Amino acid sequence: MSVRCGIIGAPNAGKSTLYNALTKSSVPAESFPFCTIEPNIGSVAVPDARLEAIANVVNVDKVVPVVLEFVDIAGLVDGASRGEGLGNRFLSHIREMDVIAHVVGCFDQQTDWRADIETVNLELLLADLGTVTRAIEKTGRKARVGDKSERAALKTLTRIMNALENGERASSVELASDEVDTVRQLHLISAKRKFYIFNVDESKLTHSEFSNPTHLQGNPAVAICAELESELAEMPDEEQELFRTEIGYDRSAIDSIVHAAYSVLNLSTFYTFNENEVRGWAIARGTTARQAAGRIHTDMERGFIRVEVMACEDLISAGSEQAVKKVGKLRIEGKTYQPQEGEILRVRFNT
Ligand SMILES: Nc1nc2c(ncn2[C@@H]2O[C@H](COP(=O)(O)OP(=O)(O)OP(=O)(O)O)[C@@H](O)[C@H]2O)c(=O)[nH]1
Ligand SMILES: [Mg+2]
């Protein structure tokens, strides 16, 4: 189970350096434009101390964390949507992502990072505009031969086109429930949730200019130092922690990024365990117990009877499932129950 995160930004923003640090792989990161030629896909376990704690209590060795999947593509330059540079070739990979991480390089005094943000965002809008325009042509042909649903779709698409032409993201267009599918099918980049990653100089990590910028249209931002992260990635875990404490920056890039991705996607984590493993799952808040069961296995959703729920803190402090039951903190819930952050679920179902 993974959350897919597409890394975009201007050339030399530090995307590959960050990607390497996160995935500890070795994608070449060099200071010339378009160092990244093929998109790179890598996975990172979401750090989660609760998994280990649960595993301890229930006495299993194997923990399966939530995974963040990253795709690193080439930088987007002015004109990318018309085929300039290489970034555009990989936008199709970004279309498959759940969330967009826009890396902004500000470690070098010379870069005009505000202009870089504008350029990248404009190219993304133009790329979406191309997608919508093609969809309108196709839908228009069908609408002319009198298909009613195609005529409705055409109206929706035209509204999206107008918004994009006004420089607004597709996500800013309010859609009626019967319009959602038409837009979803296009996988527009500007319809996706996004957050900014400011790649700053180590000395500026705690600068409020970057940790709390106000000009990002409500999209959250985190500040990291890709170079520092790539040095830390080489160290053993305990050393990394010491180092971070020493420089007064105790939040790792992956923690910040997970936090941002969870917040823009409105995700929460629940857990399951059996005699073999403890597993973490990320679901959108508001997902029902039955839908959550479907994430584990489609049979569980189909044959759903009820779910037994406990807070992982209760299990950890009580020391066993039996003890949780004894103090009356194991609850039985039905299919419409909405699991809360940190709960452990045991789904009962008919096979
Ligand atoms: N000083 C400093 N240099 C950095 C930092 N992050 C990246 N760099 C350098 O900037 C250059 C470009 O970094 P990359 O990670 O390749 O940039 P990119 O965004 O992947 O570039 P493209 O793939 O060409 O779009 C490299 O020489 C990095 O070492 C940083 O935080 N501080
Ligand atoms: Mg790169």
- Rank 28-32, 73-77, 81-85 by mean pLDDT and report only the highest: 73-77
DSSP SS3 for 114: helix
Please say if the pLDDT value at position 50 is more than 90: yes
| pLDDT at residue number 250 | 76
Which strands make up the sheet holding 304-311, listed edge to edge? 62-64, 277-284, 267-273, 343-349, 304-311, 331-333
Q: Residue 28 C-alpha to ligand 1 middle, in angstroms? A: 10
Q: Is 77 in the pocket of ligand 1 (CB under 6 A)?
A: no
- Establish whether residue 6 lines the binding site of ligand 1, counting it when its CB lies within 6 angstroms of any ligand atom: no
pLDDT of residue 209: 64
- Ligand 1 within 6 A of 11 CB? yes
Report the atom number in ligand 1 closest to the C-alpha of 107.
32
Ligand 1 midpoint to CA 39 (Å): 16
pLDDT, tens only, 262-313: 999 999 999 999 999 999 999 999 999 999 999 999 999 999 999 999 999 9
- pLDDT tens-place string over residues 163-177: 999 999 999 999 999
> 193-199 and 67-72: which strand pairing?
unpaired
Residue 246 has pLDDT above 60, yes or no: yes
* Mean pLDDT on 100-129: 92
Q: Which of 7, 17, 104, 225 to mutate to test the pocket of ligand 1 (most atoms within 8 A of CB)?
A: 17
C-alpha 32 to ligand 1 mean position (Å): 9
Those residues whose C-beta lies under 8 Å from the C-beta of residue 154, and which sit 6 or more positions away, are: 136, 139, 140, 143
User: How confident is the model at residue 212, as a pLDDT?
Assistant: 55
DSSP letter at 282? E
Q: Is the CB of 17 under 6 A from ligand 1?
A: yes
Distance of CA 168 to the CA centre of its chain: 21
On average, the pLDDT of the chain sits at 89
**H or E stretch including 275?**
none
Please return the burial class of 27, using the count of CB atoms within 10 Å of its CB with bins 0-12, 13-18 and 19+.
Answer: middle
Is the CB of residue 227 below 6 angstroms from any atom belonging to ligand 1?
yes
Give the CATH number of domain 286-349; options: 3.10.20.30, 1.10.3720.10, 3.90.1200.10, 3.40.50.80: 3.10.20.30
Q: Is 33 in the pocket of ligand 1 (CB under 6 A)?
A: yes
Q: Which of 7, 26, 35 to mutate to test the pocket of ligand 1 (most atoms within 8 A of CB)?
A: 35
Looking from the CA of residue 32, the nearest atom of ligand 1 is: 24
The response to whether residue 129 sits with its C-beta less than 6 Å from ligand 1 reads: no
Q: Which helix (DSSP H) or strand (DSSP E) does residue 313 occupy?
A: helix 312-318
Q: Inform me whether the pLDDT recorded for 26 exceeds 70.
A: no
Cα distance between residue 254 and residue 44, in whole Å: 8
The architecture (CATH level 2) of 116-190 comes to: Orthogonal Bundle (1.10)
Model pTM greater than 0.85? Answer: yes
- Of all protein residues, whose CA lies closest to atom 30 belonging to ligand 1? 227
220 burial (CB, 10 Å; 0-12 / 13-18 / 19+) is middle
| Look-up of token digits 């010491």 | 242
Q: Which of 21-25, 79-83, 218-222 has the highest mean pLDDT?
A: 218-222
Fold classification of 2-111+192-264 (topology level):
Rossmann fold (3.40.50)
Query: Phi, psi at residue 192, to the nearest 5°?
Result: -85, 155
Beta strands in the chain (DSSP E): 2-9, 40-45, 62-64, 67-72, 99-105, 193-199, 221-224, 267-273, 277-284, 304-311, 331-333, 343-349
pLDDT tens for 206-242 read 766 665 555 677 788 999 999 999 999 898 888 988 9
pLDDT digits (tens, 9 = 90+) for 312-347: 999 999 999 999 999 999 999 999 999 999 999 999
Distances (CA, A) of 281 to 4, 259, 344: 14, 15, 10
Q: Is the pLDDT of residue 64 over 90?
A: yes
Residue (of 140, 156, 142) closest to 188 by Cα position: 156
pLDDT of the residue at 279: 96
C-alpha 288 to ligand 2 mean position (Å): 39
Answer whether 132's CB lies under 8 Å from 164's CB: yes
Please identify which residue in the block is written with the tokens 């790539």: 230
Mean pLDDT is lowest, of 42-51, 78-87, 184-193, 321-330, for: 78-87
Structure-token pair, residue 128: 């979406």
Ligand 1 atom nearest to 75, measured from its CA: 25
Determine the Cα–Cα distance for residues 219 and 36; give it in Å rounded to an integer: 26
- Domain limits of the chain? 2-111+192-264, 116-190, 286-349
Q: For residue 228, which atom of ligand 1 is closest to its CA?
A: 31
